[in-house]
Structure 1
C-alpha cells in the first residue's frame, strides 16, 4: 500500500472509531438475528495497491469503518477467480481468490482482523452456474463422453423446421438446429448456446459465459457442497446464495408462457414458469441447511429470493419446519414493481413480514449491487436525504435483520453512464438505451473529499468516482453531527443496545393514516417509531398512552423538545424514535 494512502486510512480509522462502543453478541439467539449486515462490492470498496480496482486488503483497511457504522457482518460479493464477464458472478475456481483482489493469505488476514472487531464475514456463493472457463465446463464441453459430460444442462435442440418452433427460436439456428424451447437469458437472447464439439446446446440462465450446472446430477451437489465447506472450514460466517431459485429447470423443457410485449433487449416478455423456482430446489436447501448447521458458531444462509408476495418467502424458510434458509431476502418493499415512497405501501409490507413468516425474522432489502440506489428510487430530487433518513429508520427499527449496501449510509447516489461507450456492464451495452446497466450503483466508495474520494491513488479507477464525492463522503459526514451517516450510526447503536428495538414485538398504530407510519416495539420500556412520509407537517395521533417520554432519535431537532406523544407535530419527512413507560 502506498505510504500516503496508509497514513490517510490510519487517520480516518482513528477518527471513525472514537466514541463508538464495540458491539458484543447477545446471548440466547444466533448472532445474525439482531445484526446489521453491510454488503461490500470488492471492486469498489478500497484499493490498497493503486491499480484502480478494490481488493481484499482494501476491505481490511476499512474494517474500523465497518465497526464505526455499527455493522456486525460484511457480505462480500464474489472475490473468487473469474474472467469478470459478470464482474465475479462467473466463477472459474471456487477455492481461491482472484489475483486482482489478492490471495488466500490476504483473505485469512481479513478474516482474522474482522474477528478481532467482532465482524462476521459472509461470502457470496454462486451455485446456479460457473464460468465457461471453469475446468468443469471446459471438460464437459469437449465431448459427449467425459467425466463431466452431464455436469451441465445439455440438449440436442430441435429441427429448425419442426412444428411449433417459435420465431424467437428461429433467430438462433445452428447446423439446422434451434434451441429446444423459448427460454431466454436474463441478459438478452436465447438461454441456449450451441457448442460444435458436442453438436448440442447448453443452457445459461444468465450470460452465455455462465453455463448452468445440472443440479439433478448428485455429483454436482457434492462438488458444490465441498466448495462451501472449504470456506466454512476457513471460518466464514455463512453465505449469501446468488440466484438460488434458478437451480432447476423443467425436465420436459416446456416453453415459458409469453406475457406480451418485449423487454429492453427486444425479446418477448416471459413468465418463467418452467425455468425458475421449481420445487426440487427446496430439497437442496434442506440438505444444505443440515450441512451448514453442523458447524459451530451459528453459520447463516441468506438467499437472493425475489417473490411477488411476502408470504411466498415462507417456503424458503422451510415452512413450519424452518429447515431451509435462515434469511431469504424480502425484496418487495425496496424493489417491488409497485414500490413507492408511501406510508401505506411500507405499512402493508412491514405488517406482512410480521404475520406471514411464522415468527421468523424478516430481511428487508432496500439497496444492493443490482439496482439503482434507494436514495434515488425513493427520492424526489429535493428532499432526497430527508427521505433517506426514513428508509434508514425502516431498515434499523423494524423487527428483523438489517442489510444495507456500501455507500447507502452516506447517501451515495446512482451515477448512471451518460454514453453507451462508457458502460462497463454487458447488460447495459446490449440493452442501451432502455437498459443502461448496473454501473451506476457500483461506483467507488467515497471516503474523503480528496483525489479519487480516498478510494485509490490511481487517477483512473475501474469506474469513475461519482461527481458529488467532495460533499458526500465518510470523512465529511463523520465531522457533521447532522449527517446521514451519523443518523445511521445513531439508529444502529439504538438497535444494538435498546432491548425493545433489539427484541420487542412490533405493534402497528394509527394504521389508517395515509401519511404517517407508526409502530411500537414492545418491551419493559416500549419504543414508538413515527415517520412522516409527507412533505407537509402532520400531527402524531398514535393512540398510545404513556409517560416518562424520552427522545432516542429525532431527524428534526424540534421533536426532541416535545413532552407528549399524540398531538406532537411531525415536520415534513421526519422520524421520531421515543422511549416511554406505560
Structure 2
C-alpha cells in the first residue's frame, strides 16, 4: 500500500492550500475571451481590424440594478455592431481606491459577470484607468484588473505622466497571455497638414493602438482639414509599432450629430461620418449611441442622453411649445433595428465591411485632392490587384449640393486600370455604377465602389 493515499478530504485541503499560495493568474485570464484568437494558440492579432465600443456604465442603468449590469443586458446589441472590445470609461471611485468600483456603477461581481458574458460573445473588456493613480501603485493595480480578465487599458492624455503610465502598463500587459493591449492617445498638438508629417510614439514601450481623433473631431466638414488629417494617420503605421485607432465621438467631444447636423440632412451627414470612421487604415472606436444618432445634451450640465431600447413611440400628440427641442429626442433602438435604412443598420454594414474586406483591412490608402469641391476621395489598393480583389474607391461629398466629379485622369496617374465603379455601399437611394469620366455625388452622400474596366 502506498505511504500516502490521496483521500477526497486531503485533495480538497491540498487544492485550498495551493490556491492560497499561488495567485489566480491562469483561469481569470481566460475570462477575457475563452478560446480567443491570440490566446497563444495562433499568432493572429485580435486588435488588428478591430471595432471598439466605448461606454460609460452610468448611461446603462437598468430599472433594477447597476450600470455595469445594464451594459451586460445590452451585450447582444453591442455584439450586433461587430464589436471586438468594450471600453469602459473610468469605473474606480478615485485614484486611492483603484482596485475597487464606484458603488454608483456596480460591484466587482457585476464586472465579473460582464466579462464572462462578453467573453461568450467574443468581446473583450478594456478599462480606462484614472490617470492620477500613483506610479508606485500602478503595477499592482494593473495586475489586479488583468487577473480578473480585463483585456487591456486606455491611458488618457499625452503629457509625460501619460507616457510613463502607458509604458508601465505595457510592461504589465506583456507578461499576460491573450494579447492584452494598451491604448494611448495621439498628441493633439501635431498639426494635421502636409507640412507636419512626423509622428512621435507616445512612449518607448509602443502601445498596440494609438487613439487619434484629429480626422473625426474637426468643427466643420471641411476636406482641407480632414484629408490631411487622414494622411497623418499613416505616420502611426509607418512608425511600425502601433496601429491608429480613429474616433469621431467621445466623452470629451461634442457629439458629431450635434456638431455637423444642419437640421435637414442630419441622417445623411451621420452616415457620411460613419463611413469615414470605417474606411481609413485605422481601427474604429465607436462612442455609446453615435450609431443611433445620439446628440449632445442641450446644456453642458444636462444629464447624459439615454437610449430607448424597446418601447415603441407613443401616438403623435399636439405639439407642446414648452417641450424640449428636437435635438434632445431619445433615439429608439428597436425602431432603428427594424428599419433597413436606419443609421444603426448603416453602421452594421460598415462594420461588416471593415472586418471582412481584405482591401480595407490591409490595402494602402491614397487620397485624391478634391478640396476645392469639398469632397474626400480615398483609394484603397490591395497588395495585388485582381478581378476578385479590386481597388476600392471611397467618395464622401461633404456639401449640401450635388458635386460633379471626373476621376479618370487621377486613376490613370496612379497607374490603375479602370473606367467605372461598381457599387459596394452607398448611403443614398440611387442605383447603378459610377463612371470615372463623369459622375455626380448627391448632397452628403457616402459611396464605396470597386474599380473595374
When the two structures are superposed, what TM-score results if normalisation uses the length of structure 1?
Answer: 0.61
SS in 1 for 2:352: helix
The equivalent of 1:488 in structure 2 is 347
The equivalent of 1:554 in structure 2 is 426
The equivalent of 1:446 in structure 2 is 308
SS in 2 for 1:362: strand
SS in 1 for 2:238: coil
Distance 2:152 2:197 in 1: 23
**Deviation of the 1:369 alpha carbon:** 1.4
SS in 1 for 2:86: strand
Specify which of 380, 383, 395 is matched with residue 265 of structure 2.
383
Instruction: Tell me whether 1:576 sits opposite 2:447 in the alignment.
Output: yes
Specify which of 484, 491, 498 is matched with residue 357 of structure 2.
498
**Deviation of the 1:102 alpha carbon:** 2.6
Correspondence list, 1:219-368, <5 A: 220-243=134-157, 245=158, 277-278=159-160, 282-305=163-186, 307-309=188-190, 314-318=199-203, 323-335=205-217, 339-355=219-235, 358-359=238-239, 360-368=242-250
CA deviation profile, 1:424-479 (whole Å, cap 9, x unmatched):
xxxxxxxxxxxx34x46x22233234599xxxxxxxxxxxx98412xx22111111
Distance 2:177 2:96 in 1: 29
CA deviation profile, 1:534-563 (whole Å, cap 9, x unmatched):
1111123233342684321110121x3125
**Deviation of the 1:283 alpha carbon:** 4.7
The equivalent of 2:385 in structure 1 is none
Does structure 2 conserve the Cα–Cα contact (< 8 Å) formed by 1:48 and 1:55? no
SS in 2 for 1:236: coil
Does structure 2 conserve the Cα–Cα contact (< 8 Å) formed by 1:535 and 1:573? yes
Q: Mark the CA change 1:513 to 1:283 in structure 2 (over 3 Å): closer, same or farther.
A: same
SS in 2 for 1:285: helix
Q: Mark the CA change 1:541 to 1:510 in structure 2 (over 3 Å): closer, same or farther.
A: farther
The equivalent of 2:277 in structure 1 is 395
SS in 1 for 2:400: coil
Q: Mark the CA change 1:290 to 1:581 in structure 2 (over 3 Å): closer, same or farther.
A: farther
Q: Mark the CA change 1:57 to 1:561 in structure 2 (over 3 Å): closer, same or farther.
A: same
Correspondence list, 1:363-442, <5 A: 363-417=245-299, 436-437=300-301, 439=302, 442=304
Instruction: Tell me whether 1:111 sits opposite 2:115 in the alignment.
Output: yes
SS in 2 for 1:307: coil
More displaced, 522-531 or 322-331? 322-331
The equivalent of 1:200 in structure 2 is none
Distance 1:286 1:99 in 2: 30
Instruction: Tell me whether 1:59 sits opposite 2:71 in the alignment.
Output: yes
Distance 1:118 1:521 in 2: 28
Instruction: Tell me whether 1:75 sits opposite 2:87 in the alignment.
Output: yes
Does structure 2 conserve the Cα–Cα contact (< 8 Å) formed by 1:36 and 1:71? yes
Does structure 1 conserve the Cα–Cα contact (< 8 Å) formed by 2:363 and 2:381? yes
CA deviation profile, 1:132-182 (whole Å, cap 9, x unmatched):
xxxxxxxxxxxxxxxxxxxxxxxxxxxxxxxxxxxxxxxxxxxxxxxxxxx
When the two structures are superposed, what TM-score results if normalisation uses the length of structure 2?
Answer: 0.78
SS in 2 for 1:242: coil
SS in 2 for 1:221: coil
> C-alpha root-mean-square deviation of aligned residues, in Å?
2.7
Does structure 2 conserve the Cα–Cα contact (< 8 Å) formed by 1:46 and 1:445? no
Does structure 2 conserve the Cα–Cα contact (< 8 Å) formed by 1:39 and 1:406? yes
The equivalent of 2:321 in structure 1 is none
Does structure 1 conserve the Cα–Cα contact (< 8 Å) formed by 2:155 and 2:162? no
More displaced, 56-65 or 561-570? 561-570
**Structure 1 stretches lacking a partner, 5+ long:** 1-23, 83-89, 130-219, 246-276, 418-435, 453-464
Does structure 2 conserve the Cα–Cα contact (< 8 Å) formed by 1:409 and 1:488? yes
SS in 1 for 2:341: coil
Distance 1:114 1:48 in 2: 21
The equivalent of 1:167 in structure 2 is none
SS in 1 for 2:212: coil
CA deviation profile, 1:500-520 (whole Å, cap 9, x unmatched):
111211111244543211111
SS in 2 for 1:308: coil
**Deviation of the 1:496 alpha carbon:** 0.7
The equivalent of 1:45 in structure 2 is 60
**Deviation of the 1:110 alpha carbon:** 0.9
Instruction: Tell me whether 1:468 sits opposite 2:329 in the alignment.
Output: yes
SS in 1 for 2:129: strand
Q: Mark the CA change 1:409 to 1:395 in structure 2 (over 3 Å): closer, same or farther.
A: same
Does structure 1 conserve the Cα–Cα contact (< 8 Å) formed by 2:37 and 2:44? no
**Deviation of the 1:532 alpha carbon:** 0.7
Distance 1:396 1:568 in 2: 23
Distance 1:327 1:104 in 2: 27
Distance 1:499 1:63 in 2: 27
SS in 2 for 1:569: strand
CA deviation profile, 1:34-75 (whole Å, cap 9, x unmatched):
11111111000241516xxx5111111111101111111110
